[in-house]
Structures are given as structure tokens and as C-alpha cells.
């Protein structure tokens, strides 16, 4: 007799389950479908809340899934985890490629773990959505940290728009917090729009810089400096140490020229050597001070509230956009308009007349 296939949870699937007698494509498809359905939000949430890392990984895969069937389960999972989230410190780290982000996160993460924290590292990598390859994923990164039982490192979801990756990262934060991670580090390459996305989901934003503030300062986008709660000049070692100290003074001067932040926090500067593990604890002290100051003056909670509102609006906007482009009438009309554009028979702006949504569509 054929053993009954357990359908409640794929996590509990045992070795040695006998094969079904029929192996037609049809039956294979049916089995595949069954397996997919086995990703049950209940079971995953249960295991995530117990701190099970495999379940956390699977949960993130579920929220990242583009499969429409997974959407409901993913939403259910987020809802179940939400009451247990919100209890961490979320830190955004940005800087140009090569500034030392992974080396820094390795040193910083290990310091936090030595202090008894559980550290999750998530990445938002805009390059992965453009080139389908990932700057962040190319390297063997954070080799030590990755081995720590209290660390969880997850590269960015690839092949998505920045908006898509950002939303999924935000949901992943919730799952990591539910799994008991109390420090969430969101890393991004400081080359595009991703800093704004990261800024909209973290409590503290750290900009890593190299020396040579004077001239190079011109090249750094003003907006990124404005967002930073602290600027750390990395690679402050060897011959570079003196220049790093000068750069720090320059940055201090620059930061004082910026308008006061609504957090009442005056952004700090620091020098560090991620490679030599120097100055890392001072940066943790700055972050702790920030948390203390902003918790006391109410900004910490206010900012999280504002971020939640922002994400609510983003979610609605996304939903409206998806619904709109999925309408059969719009799909047909859009195709027609695209062809007309190619023939120079219309303008991109004239399309508005044809595609403006009507409630009767
Ligand atoms: P990322 O691209 O920003 O993640 O940068 P990486 O962490 O991969 O570092 C780029 C290069 O800089 C590597 O060769 C690191 O060893 C080196 N590096 C990182 N931090 C430091 C540091 O504090 N001092 C020195 N001298 N080199 C560093």
C-alpha cells in the first residue's frame, strides 16, 4: 500500500516517502502544486517565532515569491508575525562600493553579538535589479559573521524593481524581528535611489566615507549627507590615519552648515578601521546615544509611525498600479498606443486621453 503523503507542512517532510504509482506529467504537476500549498503561514509563523532560522529563510523566500498563489500565504505570515515585530533597532548602512561596508558590518556585527545581540543583515542592491547580477552577491562576504549562530545574513532579492525589493526588505524586517533579531542592519550601495528607500525603513542611517573630504565632498550627493545620522570615515589606518582625521574635521564643519533635523539630533562623525576593528565600538555608542535621545524626545516612535504611513501609501499606490495595468481593456489599449507611438502617430502625453481609468472599466 502507498504511504500517505503528509501535506500539513513541507518542513516536516520525512525521507523515504514512497512514490505515487502514476508518474505522468499530470501527476507530477499535482504533486508540485501540493508541495507549494504546503507552505502554510501558520506552520512557518510558529517556527519563525521560535527563532528557527530555516523557517525564517523560507518565510523570506515566501514574501519574495512572485507566484500569485503565494501572495495570500505571504500576507497571512506577515500578519501573524507583525504583533511580535517592532522590537529591534534598525540601522541603515550605505557607502560607495569599496568603502568597506561588508568589512564594517562584519566587525560591527561581531561586536554586537559579543554583547549578546542577535543580528540580521539584509541588503538592498539596486544593481541587482538593473543588471540582474549583484554587486553585493558577487563577493564572499562577511565570512566570520555568517558562521555565528546569532547572525542571519540575507542578500537582496534580485530581478525586481527597486520599489519591489524595498517592499520585500521591509517585510523581511518584520519576519527577522519576529524571529528574535534585535539589531537589523540594512545595507545598500550608495550609488542610486536606494538610500531613500533604506532611509524610509530604518531608525538610524550611517554613511561610510573615505578620506579626502575636501574636493570629493562635491561628488557626494547632498541628499545622502542630509539623511545621515552619523558619518564614519573608514580605512583610518596606516598612512591614511592622518588624512582620515582631517576628513573628519571637514565633515564636522559641513554637517554644521545643514539645517537642524527634526529629531533634534546633531549628526556625529567618527573615524574607524573596519579592517583592524578600530573605532567600531565608538560608532555603536553613537547609535545608542541617538536611540536614547530620540526615544526621550518622542522622535523615535514618531519616525516609525511616519514610516508606517509612508509604506501604507506605497502599498496602495502599488496595488492601484497593478490593478490598472492588469485590466484587459487597458492592456489592449496600451498595446495599441505603443504601436502608434512607434509609428509616430501619437505622443506619449496624448495616451492619457485613452488610458485614464473609468470606474466602469
Ligand atoms: P564594500 O564594497 O563597501 O562592501 O567594501 P569591502 O568591505 O568589500 O571592502 C573593500 C576593500 O577595502 C577590501 O579589500 C577590504 O579589505 C578593504 N577595507 C575595508 N575596510 C578597510 C579598512 O578599515 N582599512 C583598510 N586598509 N582596508 C579596508
Measured CA to CA, the distance from residue 58 to residue 66 in angstroms comes to: 14
Does residue 141's CB lie within 6 angstroms of at least one atom of ligand 1?
A: no
Does residue 102's CB lie within 6 angstroms of at least one atom of ligand 1?
A: yes
Ligand 1 midpoint to CA 17 (Å): 49
Mean pLDDT by 10 residues, the chain (361 residues): 45 51 55 56 94 95 84 90 90 90 95 97 71 50 86 76 80 95 90 79 94 55 84 94 92 86 91 97 98 95 93 84 87 91 87 57 48
- Ligand 1 probe mutation, 92, 93, 100, 145, most atoms within 8 A of CB: 100
Residue 319's pLDDT is 79
C-alpha cell at 48: 519563525
Question: What is the atom index within ligand 1 of the atom nearest the CA of 105?
Answer: 7
- Ligand 1 probe mutation, 93, 95, 98, most atoms within 8 A of CB: 98
Ligand 1 midpoint to CA 103 (Å): 6
- Ligand 1 probe mutation, 95, 103, 191, 235, most atoms within 8 A of CB: 103
Measuring CA to CA, how many Å separate 344 from each of 335, 338, 347, 353?
14, 10, 7, 17
Q: Is the separation of the CB atoms in 278 and 236 below 8 Å?
A: yes
Does residue 278's CB lie within 6 angstroms of at least one atom of ligand 1?
A: no
Does residue 234's CB lie within 6 angstroms of at least one atom of ligand 1?
A: yes
Does residue 298's CB lie within 6 angstroms of at least one atom of ligand 1?
A: no
Does residue 273's CB lie within 6 angstroms of at least one atom of ligand 1?
A: yes
Does residue 235's CB lie within 6 angstroms of at least one atom of ligand 1?
A: yes
Q: Is the separation of the CB atoms in 163 and 200 below 8 Å?
A: no
Residue 8's pLDDT is 46
Looking at the DSSP bridge assignments, the partners of residue 208 are 232
Residue 285's pLDDT is 98
Question: What is the atom index within ligand 1 of the atom nearest the CA of 208?
Answer: 3
Ligand 1 midpoint to CA 147 (Å): 20
Ligand 1 midpoint to CA 107 (Å): 11
To 5 degrees, how large is the angle CA 126–CA 93–CA 200?
Answer: 70
Contacts of 45 (CB under 8 A, 6+ apart): 59, 77, 80, 81, 178
Q: How many CB atoms lie within 10 A of CB 57?
A: 15
> pTM (2 decimals)?
0.81
Measured CA to CA, the distance from residue 341 to residue 348 in angstroms comes to: 7
Residue 67's pLDDT is 79
C-alpha cell at 63: 514574501
Contacts of 351 (CB under 8 A, 6+ apart): 337, 341
Amino acid at each position: 500500500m502507498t504511504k500517505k503523503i503528509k501535506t500539513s507542512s513541507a518542513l516536516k517532510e520525512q525521507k523515504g516517502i514512497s512514490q505515487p504509482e502514476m508518474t505522468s506529467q499530470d501527476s507530477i504537476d499535482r504533486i508540485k502544486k501540493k508541495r507549494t500549498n504546503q507552505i502554510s503561514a501558520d506552520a512557518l509563523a510558529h517556527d519563525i517565532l521560535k527563532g528557527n532560522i530555516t523557517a525564517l529563510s523560507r518565510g523570506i523566500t515566501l514574501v519574495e515569491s512572485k507566484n500569485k498563489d503565494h501572495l495570500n500565504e505571504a500576507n497571512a505570515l506577515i500578519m501573524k508575525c507583525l504583533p511580535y515585530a517592532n522590537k529591534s533597532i534598525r540601522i541603515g548602512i550605505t557607502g560607495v562600493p569599496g568603502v568597506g561596508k561588508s568589512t564594517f558590518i562584519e566587525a560591527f556585527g561581531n561586536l554586537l553579538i559579543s554583547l549578546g545581540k542577535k543580528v540580521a543583515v539584509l541588503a538592498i542592491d539596486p544593481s541587482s535589479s538593473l543588471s540582474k547580477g549583484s554587486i553585493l552577491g558577487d563577493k564572499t562576504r562577511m565570512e566570520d559573521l555568517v558562521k555565528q549562530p546569532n547572525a542571519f545574513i540575507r542578500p537582496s532579492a534580485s530581478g525586481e524593481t527597486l520599489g519591489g525589493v524595498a517592499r520585500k526588505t521591509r517585510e523581511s524586517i518584520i519576519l527577522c524581528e519576529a524571529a528574535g533579531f534585535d539589531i537589523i542592519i540594512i545595507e545598500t550601495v550608495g550609488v542610486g535611489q536606494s538610500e531613500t528607500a533604506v532611509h524610509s525603513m530604518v531608525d538610524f542611517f550611517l554613511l561610510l566615507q573615505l578620506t579626502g573630504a575636501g574636493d570629493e565632498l562635491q561628488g557626494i550627493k547632498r541628499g545622502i549627507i542630509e539623511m545621515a545620522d552619523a558619518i564614519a570615515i573608514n580605512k583610518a589606518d596606516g598612512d591614511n590615519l592622518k588624512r582620515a582625521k582631517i576628513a573628519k574635521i571637514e565633515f564636522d564643519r559641513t554637517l554644521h552648515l545643514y539645517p537642524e533635523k527634526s529629531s533634534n539630533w546633531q549628526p556625529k562623525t567618527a573615524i574607524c578601521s573596519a579592517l583592524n576593528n578600530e573605532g567600531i565600538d565608538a560608532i555603536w555608542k553613537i547609535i545608542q546615544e541617538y536611540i536614547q535621545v530620540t526615544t526621550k524626545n518622542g522622535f523615535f516612535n514618531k519616525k516609525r509611525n511616519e514610516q508606517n504611513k509612508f509604506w501604507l501609501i506605497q502599498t496602495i499606490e502599488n496595488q492601484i498600479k497593478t490593478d490598472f495595468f492588469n485590466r484587459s481593456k487597458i492592456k489592449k489599449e496600451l498595446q495599441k498606443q505603443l504601436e502608434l507611438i512607434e509609428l509616430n502617430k501619437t505622443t506619449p502625453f496624448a495616451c492619457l486621453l485613452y488610458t485614464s481609468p473609468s470606474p466602469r472599466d
